[in-house]
Amino acid sequence: MEAEVDPRWAEAFERDGYVVTPDVLERDELAGHGAAVDRVVASRTTDDHRAMHEKSSYEQSFVQCMRLWQDQALYKEPGGQDTEAHQDAPFWPIGDTPLVSAWIPFDGSTLEAGAMSYVPGSHKAGRLRPVDITRSTEPYDILRDPALEGREPVVVEAAPGSVVWHHGATVHRAAPNRSDRVALAGG
């Protein structure tokens, strides 16, 4: 079945650098994909019994398991800290082609469980200085970069089955997980 793209989604993406498309995946698809990702992540992390405070700052942001190139499962554990505001494009060494991320919050996303925030229109500023999201070097606060003209991130909560698309140059971050459940997303 061929899906139609709502012209408002294309307009919002062009203007803001991100858009939420609701009801892309059915509940049974989410359950199947979520269970498969859970199995793979569980097998890759089975020997890691460290408490949150024993992990690096980067590991406290999320559990990251790469699958295909830049296809990854991101688990934000309860107590997981925020993910620094950044752009994805500087980390993708495949040229200057405009790239798009599809972020799929399998269980939906809420601010309490680490929802993403996006700076509307920030993709139009182009590639800015790379942010060290591992927090191992001197911090650079991309949100204070003059190219963003003082724009602030907007929290984007998404229902299960939604896909959040964002341009590779859109500045975004994730909130800490203050809930008691693991927040699972694929990207």
Give tens-digit pLDDT for 96-144.
667 888 888 888 889 999 899 999 999 999 989 988 887 777 788 999 9
Give tens-digit pLDDT for 78-90.
888 888 899 988 8
92 contacts: CB under 8 Å, gap ≥ 6: 70, 99, 168
- The full set of domains in the chain, from first to last, is 7-45+79-186 (2.60.120.620)
Q: Average pLDDT, stretch 10-19? A: 95
Are 153 and 119 in contact, with CB atoms under 8 Å apart?
yes
